[in-house]
Amino acid sequence: MSAHPLGVEIACDGPSGRDGCPCNAAVRAQFTSRTARQVRADGRRDGWKTRPGGRDLCPDCATKEPT
């Protein structure tokens, strides 16, 4: 038996950044994506946004972000 790294999961930080995502969203990474940068690129294709400070927002939370 051998073990292999599964890659990186990027989860949504929620609309305010102080709470979790109400829908528990996570980027659906492609099988070939192994680094956080590659997974974030996968997420941008699906409508994810990255805010200053490294906050990751799913498409649903990005529209609810406080101004």
Alpha-carbon distance 13 to 25, whole Å? Answer: 9
Alpha-carbon distance 31 to 24, whole Å? Answer: 21
pLDDT digits (tens, 9 = 90+) for 6-28: 566 778 888 877 777 877 777 77
The region of weakest confidence among 10-19, 26-35, 57-66 is 26-35
Q: Is the whole model's pTM more than 0.85, yes or no?
A: no
Confidence class for position 57, pLDDT limits 50, 70, 90: confident
Which tops the pLDDT comparison, 51 or 31? Answer: 51
Sorted by where each begins, the domain ranges of the chain are 1-60
Alpha-carbon distance 61 to 42, whole Å? Answer: 17
Query: Considering the chain, what is the average pLDDT of its residues?
Result: 76
